[in-house]
Chain A
Amino acid sequence: MQILNKANYDFLRWKWHAIALSTVVILAGLGLIATKGMPLGIDFSGGTLIVVEFEQPVSEEQVRNAVDPLPGEEVVQQYGDAAERRIMIRLPQVEGAVEGNSLEQAAAQVEQALQKAGLPKFTIANRELVSAVIGRDLQLRGIYATLASLLAITVYIGIRFRFSFAVGAIVATLHDVLVTLSFLVFFGYDLSLNVVAAILTITGYSVNDTIVIFDRVRENLRSRRREPLDKIVNESVNQTLSRTIITAGTTFLSVLSIFLFGGEALRGFAFTMLVGIVSGTYSTIFIASAIAIILSSGKVRAAAATATSGDAVQGGKKQKRAKAS
């Protein structure tokens, strides 16, 4: 059985369309972030989050009325299935108060307010108090880790492939991070620590996909030196297309199982991964190779085949043997 047997699509013909589409999505996302701000989860913003489990069903509205008199703007949301009778209450960081104590007080106030409101009995399923100090610290780490990851991967690909490929791979990866962020904003997900973990995983995943194609380009370059680069790249994309689609498909469905069955706590994580996988596959096919070609055009082609590392010799030998047989 074969998906896309002998695929031969002219992907590169669509490169400018693809770049335009991605630019629109990213600009829309960034525009929304610039005007409304990136919604931060309490890991990064600091504040108080309490998940309360009631013994009898309670509506969001009842809980909202109960905690409304408390200072600050509360967020009250159903947490998970309605059958689980869990409600999430989130309070912002109170400015100016003594940090550790104010968090503790805010949590205690919520519990008292719920008790006073005459709601059914409840237990605390989950409680998170994060001070602004920790929030800022995690923000910095998140930004630092994402940038460091992009940089380190660029350096690695730069060593293993040629520079224009590294730029292509990293532009594609950065593209995926930005598209993922945009979709998080579009769909109203908060940026939490789990979501950042998913974004970092996406950087690794997206580069994986790109490397597979670039590896094939490098191999084809060795055996067919005289053909134009864009033709070879397009062919390499086609040759690896079934692998790209199968891998993306199976990974997508695995992550979909997390999204569907993994519970509320992993919802944001799974959503981020789902968007990242789709974007990663798209950018691998349409963006990474396009950038590599745009950057490579006009350069001496002979340099391409030699500027590779250790396996080049081994691969080259094999290639000769294959021809001989």
Chain B
Amino acid sequence: MKDIRWRLILIAAVIGLSIWSFYPPESKIKLGLDLKGGVHLVLRVHTDDALRVETETTVERLRDSLQRAGVQFTKAEVVSATEFRVEGIQDDAGFRLAAADPDTNYDRASEAGGYTYRMKPNIAIQLRDQTVTQALETIERRVNELGVAEPVVARYSGADQILVQLPGVSDVRRAKEIIRSTAQLKLTLVDQPSPFPTREAALQAYNNAVPSDVEILPGRQEGGGTAGTAGTVFYAVKKAAAVTGRDLRNAQQSIDEFNRPAVQFSLKQDAAGRFGNFTQSNIGRPMAIVLDNRVMSVATIQGRITDSGQITGINREEMIDTVITLKSGALPASMDYLEERTVGPSLGAESIRAGFIASLAGLGFVVVFMLFYYKLTGMNAVISIVANLVILLGLMAFLGSVMTLPGIAGFILTIGMGVDSNVLIFERIKEELATARGVRAAVNAGFDRVWWTIVDTHVSSLIAALLLLQFGTSTIRGFAITLIIGLLSNVFTAVFVSRTAFELILSRRQTAAQTLSI
């Protein structure tokens, strides 16, 4: 029969393509973190940080323009990440003229002898979104610098969450530090010539009233032997930075004059000019290099410096990590970790073995049962179930979906579904045979009657599987995707492949068949 020939060619093509797609499985089937080992991280970006910076900058600019316009005011201060207040304005008309700038991003309200500015909600949302996107891009660059194969960096549920998956990473602590390091670099003047042993001592130097343009930051004791062993001291430094991480052109590994690890950085052209003027006018004063709110080193400005500098007093690993974070740029906001799942490679390998044994045991049992219970016809079921698994593997490799431990369970359930559809059909054929209408009629009736039942059962299972997809963790997604693909290919194998097998048997018989080995 011609019809059967085309069906066989189609089946052979699908099976062939599937095998070609997933062979060899070691390299074609992607393994999830729970099988390969690695770390799954969810970070929360503190977008408030970015809003606060925006508000602070706006206040700075407002102060500047008010001073330039000669408008008197007593106070202009940041109230919260999205709010600031201006008080004591004498000349209201003059103020409004000079302070037009914040109005684009802030709503101004006249309250209690001054103005309160609140960030417009749409601007805040936009800014938060931008911050997360920037953080995402920065993390991506850092992860790439780490040299991880097939990392995942993506937005996660919730507006401010980022998912990072690093397969095969063993030093999780270091990876986490590199990802999270804000890498805020700044070069700034030191306000008090010598460091203080404690924060309290530093505060006392100002009689506990630190000027608003000065901050106290911890740092390492200079010349205290090897890095890492030196004690912590405190520096009083200017808040306003001469140069920030944004002005960097490049950073690279280097050594200092004593042959110790150091990071050499160079500045962009416009920043170089600015830095040149700054250093020129501050010759003889100490300057601090501050990284993530920690004073890395303090040096006296000897002369005009234009385009490069050095971070010293770090160990080798810190040097490597600092270069990575500086090169990838600063994060726009700080972050913390909401979730970490680490699987060691040994446990992963063991899970693969266990899953493999369980699958084989499940399949073996099903094959024995089907052959025993349905005799020769059971072979059709075995063929369709194996074909289903082959197509499932092929599609998974083709779609690049990830095999996880629950995914292996999904595999075994797919075997179960294959059995279900086949049993449904076979039992129906048996029933139809009992009414003695001939083998061909019984087979046809069996498949036709059961078709809609199979559709209904598969749709209801698909609904449940689709709803599983919304769990962001890769392991559960792996399970859901395996189930979905398995369900779809099962319709093809249990109905189309199995029916073709039946018809092939029937067409081989010259005389009208009266019996079926079922």
What residues of chain A have their CB less than 8 Å away from a CB belonging to chain B?
Answer: 1-3, 51, 53, 84, 98-101, 103-104, 123-131, 133-134, 137-138, 141-142, 145, 148-149, 152-153, 156-157, 160, 193-194, 196-197, 200-201, 203-205, 207-208, 211-212, 215, 219, 239-240, 242-243, 246-247, 250-251, 253-255, 257-258, 260-263, 265-266, 269-270, 273, 311, 315, 318, 322, 325
**What residues on B are CB-neighbors of A193 within 8 Å?**
471, 473, 475-476
B412 interface hit (Cβ, 8 Å)? yes
- Give the docked Cα–Cα distance between A193 and B475 (Å): 9
Q: Of B106-114, B269-277, B309-317, B446-454, which binds chain A?
A: B446-454
Of A84, A196, A262, A273, chain B has the most CB atoms within 10 Å of the CB of A262
**What residues on A are CB-neighbors of B172 within 8 Å?**
127
Query: Would you mind naming 7 contact pairs between A and B with Cβ atoms under 8 Å apart?
Result: A127-B341, A137-B157, A242-B427, A243-B424, A258-B412, A269-B406, A318-B448
Q: Knowing A1-B373, A160-B456 touch, does A258 contact B338 (C-beta < 8 A)?
A: no
Beta-carbon contacts under 8 Å, B406-454 to A: 406, 408-409, 412-413, 415-416, 419-420, 423-424, 427, 430-431, 437, 441, 445, 448-449, 452-453
B220 interface hit (Cβ, 8 Å)? no
Q: Which of B419, B449, B460, B462 contacts A211 (CB 8 A)?
A: B460
| B465, closest chain A residue (CB) | A204
B34 interface hit (Cβ, 8 Å)? yes
B434: shortest Cβ distance to chain A, in Å?
9
- Give the docked Cα–Cα distance between A200 and B462 (Å): 11
| A251, closest chain B residue (CB) | B416
A323: shortest Cβ distance to chain B, in Å?
11
Q: Knowing A129-B339, A263-B354 touch, does A2 contact B430 (C-beta < 8 A)?
A: yes
What residues of chain B have their CB less than 8 Å away from a CB belonging to chain A?
Answer: 34, 42, 44, 157-158, 172, 176, 336-344, 346-347, 350-351, 354-355, 357-359, 361-362, 365-366, 369, 372-373, 375, 405-406, 408-409, 412-413, 415-416, 419-420, 423-424, 427, 430-431, 437, 441, 445, 448-449, 452-453, 456-457, 459-465, 467-468, 470-471, 473, 475-476, 479-480, 483
**What residues on B are CB-neighbors of A149 within 8 Å?**
463-464, 467
- Give the docked Cα–Cα distance between A181 and B495 (Å): 35
B267: shortest Cβ distance to chain A, in Å?
33
**What residues on B are CB-neighbors of A2 within 8 Å?**
430
| A145, closest chain B residue (CB) | B467
**What residues on A are CB-neighbors of B449 within 8 Å?**
219, 315, 318
Assess whether B340 is in contact with A103, with CB atoms less than 8 Å apart: yes
Q: Knowing A247-B420, A257-B362 touch, does A200 contact B468 (C-beta < 8 A)?
A: yes
Assess whether A258 is in contact with B405, with CB atoms less than 8 Å apart: no
Assess whether B463 is in contact with A156, with CB atoms less than 8 Å apart: yes
**What residues on A are CB-neighbors of B338 within 8 Å?**
99-100, 130-131, 133-134
Assess whether A266 is in contact with B470, with CB atoms less than 8 Å apart: no
| A239, closest chain B residue (CB) | B431
**What residues on A are CB-neighbors of B431 within 8 Å?**
239
**What residues on B are CB-neighbors of A100 within 8 Å?**
44, 336-338
B422: shortest Cβ distance to chain A, in Å?
9
Q: Which of A98, A128, A251 contacts B419 (CB 8 A)?
A: A251
Assess whether A254 is in contact with B416, with CB atoms less than 8 Å apart: yes
| A255, closest chain B residue (CB) | B412
Assess whether A204 is in contact with B460, with CB atoms less than 8 Å apart: yes
| B437, closest chain A residue (CB) | A325
Could you list 14 further interchain pairs (A-B, Cβ under 8 angstroms) beyond the known A197-B479, A200-B465, A201-B461? A98-B336, A128-B341, A131-B337, A138-B471, A153-B464, A193-B476, A194-B475, A203-B464, A207-B457, A208-B460, A211-B456, A255-B412, A258-B362, A258-B409
Q: Which of A127, A200, A219, A239 contacts B467 (CB 8 A)?
A: A200
Q: Knowing A208-B420, A262-B358, A318-B445 touch, does A141 contact B470 (C-beta < 8 A)?
A: yes
**The 3 A-B residue pairs with the shortest CB-CB distance in the complex, in nearest-first order:** A100-B336, A204-B464, A263-B354
